[in-house]
Structure 1
Amino acid sequence: MASERAKELAKKQKAEAKALKAAKKNSSDPTDWGTAKQIRETYKLTAKYQPKIPWMLAGAVLICLIVGVGIGLAAGTWYLWALLGLLGGVTAALWVLQREAKKASFARVKGQPGGAEMALTMLDKKKWHYTAAVAVDRQTNCVHRAIGPGGMILIGDGKGSQSLLRTEVRRHQQVLYGVEVQTVLVGEGEGKVPVEKLTAYLKKLPKTLTSEQIEEIEYRLKALDKLRSRVPIPKGPMPTGGHAKISRRAMRG
């Protein structure tokens, strides 16, 4: 009897594992994909925005291979250096793909509502915490919030986000008691930060907050967020196609 139950349990676990594997295989979420599929899908989407990517990757591999063979011929062990050159070429090609994938991601979200969230996802999560779309208006202008060593920053995202940003500054100042509320407008033109440069801009801000201060600020903001009437719209940029996702893991390397 016990043996029959054990067989049934093993059969059930095997079926569940098979179903989970199939679900991950057919999933559209990059976090469910294996490394090979992440690289493949990232390449496909990058190629839509950078048609020269095949030649760029091939060039990275070829240059490293030629250098390796050249050193090997001079050293008398060309086959070993050729192998090292090939491995170096693959590494260089992956770096090029990572760089171009970032560019493709920002090209896709540039000018779209909520596009600045892409830049915020690339911040160091151990140092920075962000909340996307803490406020949204009817024109899909929105304000994101980031808290980290560089301070408490509100990010206006959208062509008409200035008014919404000013309103959010007043709201946040009411609960922060002396902590400076910094603002950033995302976009093109004087006084604005392009979306592709937002991550670097935030990282370069002078350090003004400790981890303890960041924790205290987040505690205060919880009360503000509870009182807020949130608009139930999806966060992030609007999708632009069936395979519009680029693996963020692949972009980080």
Structure 2
Amino acid sequence: MANSKESAASSSASTRERLKAVKAEQRSRRQQDKDRAKENKAETKARKKATKKPGVFKQLGEVFSMTRAHDPKVVLWMSLAFVAVLVIGLVVGLLLNNWITWLLIAIPFGLLAAVVIMNRMAEKAAFARIDGRPGAAGAALSTLRRGWIIPEQPVAVSPKTQDAVFRAVGRPGVVLVTEGPTNRVRPLVEKERRNMQRFLPNVPIQVLATGHGDDQIELHQLSKTLKRMKKTLTKQEVQAVDKRLSSLGSTKMPIPKGIDPYRARPDRKSMRGR
């Protein structure tokens, strides 16, 4: 009888210990889940903060700093634009005997004029930073708006000199934009133009050279030059020309992966024979 009571007491004690252990394990799991949820929430906040776009005023500040570093006169020109608009508003207000109202109206327009001047100078500063680097002409072409189809990669590249030819298709026709000295890049662009003329006999193909020479166009003037060209094609014809050029480009042999075309060298042993 005593043995049965002792065994019952020991079994109940062991049961309580197991229950305590289970509860302790459950508490630890709940705490781990809470900690994990907090970590995930912190990571989500940090990710959102990292991907959050800067505000308008912060962007304007960054653009102003970049432009001022390239051209310190941006402050002078912005101030002149702001003051000029204020003077115009003040003169109109004096003529209408209501100069206070017109001055208040002129203030936001003066700020707008200053921002426009800053954007113009910022564009020149951005082009000045990439001037002379490979792909600068392609970056200048990417600023074109609707109506132009521009491949991301150049249509022709010289591995030795890094000279390149970019293509833009629009209503003026096909425009080949060269990057490099005119005399050195001329054979490359002429070869590309002859190939296009064989398949596009009725489409005008023009060549523009970028640079600082007499017959070259500076990067910040490239977009304006293309927009001023005479339009000879319709929108449907532009699409048809681009499809034709894309199909011709797809027939070229692709470059095998892992091979750098700028460092590729012929196998001289196979050329001599072994």
Q: 1:201 maps to which residue?
A: 225
Establish whether residue 155 from structure 1 lines up as the match of residue 152 from structure 2: no
Indicate the residue corresponding to 1:127 in structure 2.
147
% identity of equivalent residues: 33
- Asked whether 1:114 is paired with 2:144, we answer no
Is 1:58 equivalent to 2:82 in the alignment? no
Deviation at 1:172, TM superposition (A): 2.6
Deviation string 1:166-197 (CA, Å, 9 cap, x unpaired) is 22223333443543332222223343323222
CA distance in 1, matches of 2:249, 2:39: 44
- Pairing of 1:135-146 with structure 2 (within 5 A): 135-138=156-159, 139-146=161-168
**Number of equivalences:** 217
Residue type at the aligned position of 2:194: R
Q: TM-score, normalised by structure 2?
A: 0.68
Matched, 1:180 2:204: yes
Structure 1 pair 53–193 and aligned structure 2 pair: CA distance change class (3 A): closer
C-alpha distance in 2 between matches for 1:194 and 1:104: 12
For residue 216 of structure 1, what is the aligned residue in structure 2?
240
The alpha-carbon distance between structure 1 residues 41 and 215, as it changes in their structure 2 partners (threshold 3 A), is same
Distance change >3 Å, CA 164–CA 15, structure 1 → 2: farther
CA distance in 2, matches of 1:93, 1:232: 47
| Cα drift, residue 161 of structure 1 | 2.2
Three-state SS of the structure 2 residue aligned to 1:129 is coil
Higher relative contact order (CA 8 A, sep 6+): 1
2:243 and 2:60 map into 1 onto residues whose CA distance is 39
Letter in 1 for 2:134: P
Change (3 A) 1:55 1:145: same
Structure 2 match to 1:102: 123
Q: 1:180 to 1:41 in 2, by over 3 A?
A: same
Q: Deviations over 1:100-144 (max 9, x none)?
A: 1122123223333222223312322x2111124222222221111
Pick closer, same or farther for the CA change 1:66–1:228 going to 2, 3 Å: farther
Q: How far apart are the structure 2 equivalents of 1:79 and 1:12? A: 57
What CA deviation, in whole Å up to 9, does each residue of 1:199-243 have, x standing for no partner? Answer: 22211222121111111111112223222546979xxxxxxxxxx
Distance 1:117 1:33, change over 3 A: farther
TM-score normalised to the size of structure 1?
Answer: 0.73
CA contact (8 A) 1:56 1:96 kept: yes
Structure 2: gaps spanning 5 or more residues: 1-37, 262-274
In the alignment, which residue of structure 1 is the partner of 2:48?
Answer: 21
Task: Return the letter of the residue paired with 1:24.
Answer: T
Q: Do the aligned residues in 1 keep the contact of 2:149 with 2:242 (CA within 8 Å)?
A: no
